[in-house]
Amino acid sequence: KMYLHGCKQTPATPPTTSDEDSSGSTDDGEMKKKKGNRAMGKKKYPKAVKYYSKAIKIDPENATYRLNRAIAKAALELWKDAEDDAAAALELGDPPSAKMYFQLARARMRTGKLDEAEETAKTGLTKFEEEAALMQLMKDIERRQKAAAEKKKQAAEALAARLANEGTDANKLEKAKGLLDRARNAYASAPDQSFELCISAKELLESIETAEAKREEISVCSLQGKVGMRLRKWPEACSAFERASKLGDEIYSMDNAEEREALANAYNNWGITLKNSGKLAEAERILNKAYAKATNGDDLVATTQVAQIVQNLAQCLLQAAKPAEARGMYARALEVGQRVFGGEHASLALNHVGIARCLKKEGQLLDAVRAYTTAWELWQKKDPQECLAEMPEVPNKERFDQIKQQVQKELAELILFIEEAKKQAGKGEGTGAPSGSEAATSA
């Protein structure tokens, strides 16, 4: 590893090299040492290392040459090399000098070998009790040992705290999972209890920042939202689905079809709860987001989920007194459903009913009659159980019967109105179109 002069930070004053007797050296070796010493005096440390290395090559057993090269390398902060040279000097020294102990102890201290540095300095002080440099170095070593011990203590405490926290988080996660299982079991028979269990589970999970905990919290929020919808606690359900949606945005990948579907479902439910809370503008915005996530930006995507989201958006627009826009959404939902199921699927009737209600609002009464009739005919082609199997949004036969009765009523009222209008027209009297307010109830 090369170091150019001036590239390393050097001490304010050059280190003092040794001019101790180097008996056994040749005159040429002494000459190289003296050139090295002059280079050190000029702070030309790389050049000094070069001369000392030449002297060592001439006389490898000379302790002074090794010591001086250790000092030069220390000036360049090449502490590992300085340690090697100082150790060799100490071994070759006969007897070893205080400088040799100092250089070896300092090099070991600077390479982080504090215990070895302490041992070396103590050995030196037993032989050179009044050596000021060694005494000061011992204080520096002790100060560093104390700092290292404190750092080690802090690291151990941090590790213990992290492990304790992980243990706490793990316990919280397991407890939350248990509460979620209980909430699921209570969903059908005790929805109020299920709702409270979800709240308790969510409180535990909110303080854990792991991906696993966030996925578990999405499950808890989704269940809480569904229970809230069942209990008609719209604000609470809305808050739960909002949390599930935002967590999903954080950890789900749109490149993963399963995660994308789960995220779109969370947004769809959030939009439904907003609609049922009367926040129609916000519901429209969130349902459009649900559609974007379900299609991943591709309008050619046709799935049951896409059809359901568009149908919910249509209901929201109709409720917001935007019948023309709502009819476009119902038509889109109908088109997607036909691509997925074909033209005879019972679920398509719900879109025909929606289109009929929009047409009625717009005053296109004959077209509305045709749409109502198409819906009714689709249901009549199949027995109720088959229809229910194809309409998961309709919970049971009782609700299905209510929907059919409502459609029959709306169709009959519309036909009567048209007939009455014809009579009045024949007499030259006018009449107003039906308001359709009673038809605003969604299927």
Can you spell out the DSSP letters for 101-169? HHHHHHHHHHTT-HHHHHHHHHHHHHH-TT-HHHHHHHHHHHHHHHHHHHHHHHHHHHHHHHHHHHHHH
pLDDT of the residue at 167: 59
Are 325 and 369 spatial neighbours (Cβ–Cβ below 8 Å)?
Answer: no
Rounded to an integer, the average pLDDT of 332-358 is: 94
Q: What confidence tens digit (pLDDT) does each residue in 276-292 have?
A: 999 999 999 999 999 99
Does the pLDDT at position 299 exceed 90?
A: no
Calpha distance 88→109 (Å, rounded):
17
pLDDT exceeds 90 at position 297: no
| pLDDT value of position 159 | 76
DSSP states of 214-248: HHHHHHHHHHHHHHHHHTT-HHHHHHHHHHHHHHH
Residue 229: pLDDT band with limits 50, 70, 90 = very high
pLDDT band at 9 (very low <50, low <70, confident <90, very high): very low
Q: pLDDT value at position 15?
A: 55
pLDDT at position 197 is 96
Residue 95: pLDDT over 60: yes
Tell me, what DSSP letter sits at residue 16? P
164-223 confidence digits (pLDDT tens): 665 588 888 999 999 999 999 999 999 999 999 999 999 989 888 899 999 999 999 999
Torsion of CA 72, 76, 78, 84, to 10 degrees: 0
> What's the whole-number mean pLDDT along residues 12-23?
50
With tokens 């689905």, the residue in question is 241
pLDDT at 137 over 80: yes
Whether the CB-CB separation of 101 and 134 falls below 8 Å is answered with: yes
pLDDT tens column, 359-414? 999 999 999 999 999 999 999 999 999 999 999 888 899 999 999 999 999 999 99
pLDDT digits (tens, 9 = 90+) for 50-72: 999 999 999 999 999 999 999 99
User: Is-contact 330 316, C-beta < 8 A?
Assistant: no
Whether residue 335 is predicted with pLDDT greater than 50 in this model: the reply is yes
pLDDT in tens, 145-159: 999 999 999 998 887
